[in-house]
Amino acid sequence: MKHKIKDEIKKHSNPFDIKRKRLYNEISKEMGFIYPCPEYISVKTLILRSINKKLPSNVTTFNEIPNESEYYKTERNEDFMIFKNSDLVIFQSPFQAKLFKKYNNDIFVDGTFYIAPKFSQQVFITRTYVKELNSFYTTSYAILRNKKQKTYKMLFNKLKQNSNNNIITEPKNVYCDFEKGISKAVKKIFPNINIKYCIWHYKNLLEIKKNELCRNEVNDDEKIFNYYKGISNLPFINPEYIMDIFSLIKTKSIEKILVNF
């Protein structure tokens, strides 16, 4: 059975698609009529080791990311790595480019550090909302070596170029966090776009700063906590009244501090 497992794995063109338990079940079912088969647990390591031999070698630096690879192909044999330089690698399939172009009223962007390679700063993702399907779809992935404005600018410029195809792509709104490098870069590439900052990021940053400076003072005093909640909800206030409400919260907070003093 071990030789059969190795042979079947060698036949696979894409080792990422191999399902270990399914492979074992198929082979054991085929061979079970002739020979008794070992338990899955006893060949699990062999299967994993054989799959790993088929995988490309680990990339340890940004420069080692190959310019071409058989793994840069979709199931339709389409290239989906559209750009690479010393700071940035962009992946976008033709279908994703089509979505980016067609549903460009609202673009949602964010970076994640949890799945980023150790030699990079982040994996940056763009998404769009398809109203007909009531679903969000990812329109590109990018590996960034840094968080500089020029890197973001290059990213958005390449996405714009890749999706144009004789039709100018001009998104109306982009939703992002409060990183200035992102919003400034977007404005450079799409001058007429509206920047919509993410409420979750706003509240998250406010919570982090509160915990750094005065966590106990805020959490242990109901009135101060209510003032804090008021500040956290400012984005939901009519812009005409924000400064008035902020000034009121500030005045009440100062009065509370003076009374305690």
Please indicate whether residue 21 or residue 96 has the higher confidence score (pLDDT): 96
What pairs with residue 126 in β-bridges?
Answer: 109, 140
Please indicate whether residue 150 or residue 237 has the higher confidence score (pLDDT): 150
The two structure tokens encoding residue 245 = 């409400």
The pLDDT, as a whole number, for residue 94 is 92
Q: What is the per-residue pLDDT across 38-76, written as a single tens digit (0 to 9) for each? A: 777 777 787 777 877 777 777 888 888 888 887 788 878
Q: Among 11-25, 66-80, 119-133, 166-180, which stretch is predicted with the lowest mean pLDDT?
A: 11-25
Please indicate whether residue 256 or residue 251 has the higher confidence score (pLDDT): 251
Residue 261 — very low, low, confident or very high, per pLDDT cuts 50/70/90? Answer: very low
Q: Give the residue-averaged pLDDT of 147-172.
A: 86
Please indicate whether residue 30 or residue 207 has the higher confidence score (pLDDT): 207
Q: How far is CA 12 from CA 19, 33, 93, in A?
A: 11, 24, 23
pTM summary value? 0.70
The pLDDT, as a whole number, for residue 13 is 66
pLDDT at 167 over 70: no
Residue 77 — very low, low, confident or very high, per pLDDT cuts 50/70/90? Answer: confident
What would you measure as the largest C-alpha separation in the chain, in angstroms? 88
Q: Do residues 72 and 81 touch, judged by C-beta distance below 8 A? A: yes
Q: Give the residue-averaged pLDDT of 17-30.
A: 75
Q: Looking at this protein, which amino acid is placed at residue 145?
A: R
Residue 151 — very low, low, confident or very high, per pLDDT cuts 50/70/90? Answer: very high
Q: What is the per-residue pLDDT across 173-202, written as a single tens digit (0 to 9) for each? A: 999 988 899 999 999 999 999 999 888 888
The pLDDT, as a whole number, for residue 26 is 76
The pLDDT, as a whole number, for residue 165 is 67
Q: What is the per-residue pLDDT across 232-248, written as a single tens digit (0 to 9) for each? A: 888 788 778 778 877 87
Token match 């994993």: residue? 48
Cα separation, 110 vs 179, in Å, equals: 10
Q: Helix/strand/coil (H, E, C) string of 242-259?
A: HHHHHHHHHHHHHHHHHH
Q: What is the per-residue pLDDT across 6-19, written as a single tens digit (0 to 9) for each? A: 777 777 767 667 77
